[in-house]
Amino acid sequence: MQETLNYIQENKQRYIDELFELLKIASISADPAYKNEVLKCAEMCAQHLKNAGADAVEVCQTKGYPIVYGEKILDKNLPTVLVYGHYDVQPPDPLELWKKPPFEPYIEKTEIHPDGAIFARGSADDKGQFFMHIKAFEAMMKTNTLPCNVKFIIEGEEEVGSVSLGDFVNENKEKLSCDCILISDTGLYSKDQPTVTTGLRGLSYMEVEVEGPGRDLHSGLYGGAVPNPIHVLSRMIAQLIDENGRIAIDGFYDNVLELSAEERAEMAKLKDDQEEFKKSISLKGVEGEEGFTTLERTSIRPTLDCNGIWGGYTGEGAKTVIPSKAFAKISMRLVPYQTPDEITEKFTKYFEKIAPDNVKIKVTPHHGGMPYVLPSDTKEFVAAKKAMETAFGKEVLPYRSGGSIPITAMFEQVLGAKSVLMGFGLDSDAIHSPNEHYGLFNFYKGIESIPLFFENYAKM
Amino acid sequence: MQETLNYIQENKQRYIDELFELLKIASISADPAYKNEVLKCAEMCAQHLKNAGADAVEVCQTKGYPIVYGEKILDKNLPTVLVYGHYDVQPPDPLELWKKPPFEPYIEKTEIHPDGAIFARGSADDKGQFFMHIKAFEAMMKTNTLPCNVKFIIEGEEEVGSVSLGDFVNENKEKLSCDCILISDTGLYSKDQPTVTTGLRGLSYMEVEVEGPGRDLHSGLYGGAVPNPIHVLSRMIAQLIDENGRIAIDGFYDNVLELSAEERAEMAKLKDDQEEFKKSISLKGVEGEEGFTTLERTSIRPTLDCNGIWGGYTGEGAKTVIPSKAFAKISMRLVPYQTPDEITEKFTKYFEKIAPDNVKIKVTPHHGGMPYVLPSDTKEFVAAKKAMETAFGKEVLPYRSGGSIPITAMFEQVLGAKSVLMGFGLDSDAIHSPNEHYGLFNFYKGIESIPLFFENYAKM
């Protein structure tokens, strides 16, 4: 193992240089204008896999963006780890809030990252993280220490709901057969408290539309006499969450797994500093479901958020218009045993129920995803916990995260394998926000932890 | 008079051709990108005044866009009519809803305009209307029938609150001295019911901002634990109007002039067909202040409308973000004796009061305007009523409109003269909306009514 870690140490600077090239590609899957960039990024991933020593590398076509595949099969009798990552990124807007352009990576020290952090869209989510696996694999190959088989799939549609991945996995069950799936697309609980993610929330995401008058109207001539769709939508949004912070949709909590007092006490061991939390995001005060802590609200409880709203005149100056339509994007984070289909249906029914008679409404579901739990008595969890304890020199705790990686449930169903979520980001990395970054410390700790995981897992 | 009307008849087609050239200029005052177009439009207006026979024509510079001036002084002992109009237009968005580009005028017949209507941004508001005055003036000049003095001011900032007009009028009291002001920037009650506008609502317009966290957040990692500014703004908007359709701002109705039962009965003579109203704007059902009719809600009652809302991700696809900020544009229409300063202050206080402690808010007032009333026993009203009765061959009623022309109150204060609002548009003209148009019938009836007004007024 020491030889592998030495190799990593000697090649640190090159790893960063190579990652920068990957971060320069604006692989924004949500915006069709960036199609060529997304495709270019897939090609570069394939080249990196080849260079690292993978066989059978292929840019596999799908109905959407391609999935990059590669493998190293040492012996069919050895266990096989399937590494998953995604090379697509979130849109970078609002652009004006970035200190430097989002696709021109640079390193800067921050309070929380005294060794420096890489600033760029995708640095933490997920280019910087899946790239650790390619580099750890390279180190194991070059030092002849790979202890088991490995397969890679790196997709380009994670940020738009992994629309083609399900079909791909179903059509390639044999090729992707494995004993476990290893994913770095989550974070540590904090820099001082390394964790393995044992739970993820699911997702149900919709776009809603409220139509008042059939065309835009002059607010002087019509104001006061017609339903203004912005007001109606605002009133409807106000009715989605009640005064106790509970989601008001009928039956929303029916299938929620309620944690026992013991489980909640175990969770409470994780340091949950309210003042630090507020300071880290410049917040005056928290809010959420009554009876739960901030940590619980963001992990074991389902939530509802408007992710966008628009309607009427939003340009400079003043326009006295009553718009015909107003729109919002609304998403819900789900916990076991809610399902996206169930919640999408309940949301739609409720939204129809609370709509006044004098408007027309439309609900369009976007992608959804199942929630996921990895029990802490599985060998996947234990191998990851031990690997990180060696790398960090600290106790590693299980942690249920608030984010969603809906594919973990699909992997389990189709491939019959558990996913182990060994992520190295921090909540403060500003993923999905301007000035996304990923600590150099985290990047290197990740690359060190991966060969340790392989070693532990191959022995179990 | 017959000679003047004959001249108008003979030059009809040229009037339209000239108006088309004016409509081709995208003089959007709200958007700085169109500065050159606005300036070009001012020059063209000046040229038209010269061609029609005006003296002392000048493009007067202001801190904002210029004001075009022209005059014809026959005799200082004769009365002087000051004609006001504006050459700037509203932004044309949403562009995709226009059948043809907004600055490429064309004529098309509609159900309500069997003779055809001119489609273009500004056709009714206000290029098509102030141009009637230049053409009527031309007709009186060419036929030597102008019975009194006339002055013109055509400004370029009406759609952004006439920001420079007040200073200009104050600095040029002598130059602009007059006996009455004639304005065509309003509409008829309906095609079958010509009216002179005797009241206008005032305006108070603000932009509001709600800030939750100091930066955009990932809704998976933070969802459920922080105030989402879109939700907070929605809840605050929902609290602006109560369940009876009354504006909930403290003291909002304190200075509202309540009409007597007699006055309301007089108003009720105007045909107010609910089914036709709904059909004309493809509306499922009306809503508004309890205890008032649609006609009353849009004329004698103050109102509040969101004119725009935005925040978070509004592009294609799905982005799981909690935005740092959400914004809205909110305006109120005022009635006598409310004032914009009073209402702006009351709005701001109330908005601060209903803001939860865990967000920051900001209220930025845009322009405002005073409400206005022209009593029906003034000679201005009588001259206009008689002129239109001759032109239309029908009884003309007084009508209080819901729109705002805040400058009427300023004119009265500074110049000591009443404004007569003789407008020829229709509510269905879609001003401030896509596919704005102005009926040829209305355009010609306007040009005919104007010399009749001058004749009546000069005699009184």
Out of A344, A369, A394, a domain closes at A369
Q: What is the pLDDT of residues A100-144, one digit of tens each?
A: 999 999 999 999 999 999 999 999 999 999 999 999 999 999 999
CB contact under 8 A, B432 and A403: no
ipTM score here? Answer: 0.75
CA A171-A453-A158 angle, to 5 degrees, is 40
Q: What is the pLDDT of residues B151-160, one digit of tens each?
A: 999 999 999 9
Q: Is A284 within a domain?
A: no
pLDDT of residue A265: 86
Report the CATH number at residue A445. 3.40.630.10
Q: Is A277 within a domain?
A: no
| A413 CB-side CA count, 13 A | 12
Question: What is the distance, to the nearest Å, from the Cα of residue B272 to the centroid of all Cα atoms in its chain?
Answer: 22
The total of other beta-carbon atoms located within 10 Å of residue A163's CB is 16
- With residue B85 as reference, give the H or E element that holds it: strand B80-86
CA distance A129 to A392: 17
Looking at the 3D structure of chain B, how many domains does it have? Answer: 2
Do B417 and B319 sit in the same domain of this protein?
no
Q: Is B269 within a domain?
A: no
Do A133 and A219 sit in the same domain of this protein?
no
Cα dihedral A131, A135, A136, A140 sign? positive
Q: How confident is the model at residue B260 (pLDDT cuts 50, 70, 90)?
A: confident
Report the relative pairing of strands A217-218 and A67-72 from DSSP bridges.
Answer: unpaired
Determine whether B193 is exposed, middle or buried from the number of CB atoms within 10 Å of its CB (0-12, 13-18, 19+).
middle
Do A351 and A211 sit in the same domain of this protein?
yes
- CB distance A227 to A359 below 8 Å: yes
Nearest by CB to residue A433, choosing from B216, B289, B314, is B216
Give the C-alpha distances (Å, rounded to integers) separating B333 from B101, B297, B302, B371, B430.
31, 11, 5, 8, 19
pLDDT of residue A424: 97
Do B394 and B417 sit in the same domain of this protein?
yes
pLDDT of residue A177: 97
Out of B324, B346, B369, a domain closes at B369
Q: Is B282 within a domain?
A: no
Residues of B in contact with A316 (CB under 8 A): 30-32
The total of other beta-carbon atoms located within 10 Å of residue A284's CB is 16
Residues of A in contact with B327 (CB under 8 A): 314
pLDDT of residue A273: 87
CB contact under 8 A, A217 and B318: no
- Residue B79 touches chain A, beta carbons under 8 Å: no
Do A64 and A184 sit in the same domain of this protein?
yes
Do B346 and B375 sit in the same domain of this protein?
no
- Closest Cα in chain B, distance from residue A360 (Å): 8
- Residue B303 touches chain A, beta carbons under 8 Å: yes
CA distance B297 to A225: 6
Q: Is B232 within a domain?
A: yes
* Mean pLDDT of the region B384-411: 89
- Residue B228 touches chain A, beta carbons under 8 Å: yes
Do B164 and B100 sit in the same domain of this protein?
yes
Closest C-alpha to A387, from A116, A184, A89 = A184
Residues of B in contact with A329 (CB under 8 A): 312-314, 318-319
CA B402-B404-B407 angle, to 5 degrees, is 150
Type of residue found at A404: S
Do B99 and B38 sit in the same domain of this protein?
yes
pLDDT of residue A129: 98
Do A321 and A355 sit in the same domain of this protein?
yes
Residues of B in contact with A421 (CB under 8 A): none
Out of A352, A369, A386, a domain closes at A369
Q: Is B273 within a domain?
A: no
CA distance A198 to A418: 11
Report the CATH number at residue A244. 3.30.70.360
- Closest Cα in chain B, distance from residue A49 (Å): 29
H-assigned helices in B355-439: 379-392, 407-415
What residue of B is the nearest CA neighbor of A247? Answer: B224
Q: Is B396 within a domain?
A: yes
Do A128 and A240 sit in the same domain of this protein?
no
Do B210 and B349 sit in the same domain of this protein?
yes
The token pair that represents A11 in the structure block: 């090649």
- Residue A95 touches chain B, beta carbons under 8 Å: no
- CB distance A27 to A41 below 8 Å: yes
CA distance A187 to A421: 9
The domain containing residue A231 runs over which residues? 203-256+302-369
One pLDDT digit (tens) per residue for chain A, 460 residues: 899 999 999 999 999 999 999 999 999 999 999 999 999 999 999 999 999 999 999 999 999 999 999 999 999 999 999 999 999 999 998 899 999 999 999 999 999 999 999 999 999 999 999 999 999 999 999 999 999 999 999 999 999 989 999 999 999 999 999 999 999 999 998 888 999 998 889 999 999 999 999 999 999 889 999 999 999 999 999 999 999 999 999 999 999 989 888 888 878 888 888 998 999 899 999 999 999 999 999 999 999 999 999 999 999 888 899 999 999 999 999 998 899 999 999 999 999 999 999 999 999 999 788 898 888 889 999 999 999 999 999 999 888 887 777 789 899 999 999 999 999 999 889 998 999 999 999 999 999 999 999 999 999 8
Do B343 and B400 sit in the same domain of this protein?
no
CB contact under 8 A, B318 and A294: no
H-assigned helices in A11-154: 12-23, 35-52, 127-142
Residues of B in contact with A303 (CB under 8 A): 219, 223-224
The total of other beta-carbon atoms located within 10 Å of residue A160's CB is 22
Interface with B, mutate which of A157, A197, A215, A240 (most B CBs under 10 A) = A215
pLDDT beyond 80 at B266: no
Q: Is A227 within a domain?
A: yes
- Closest Cα in chain A, distance from residue B252 (Å): 15
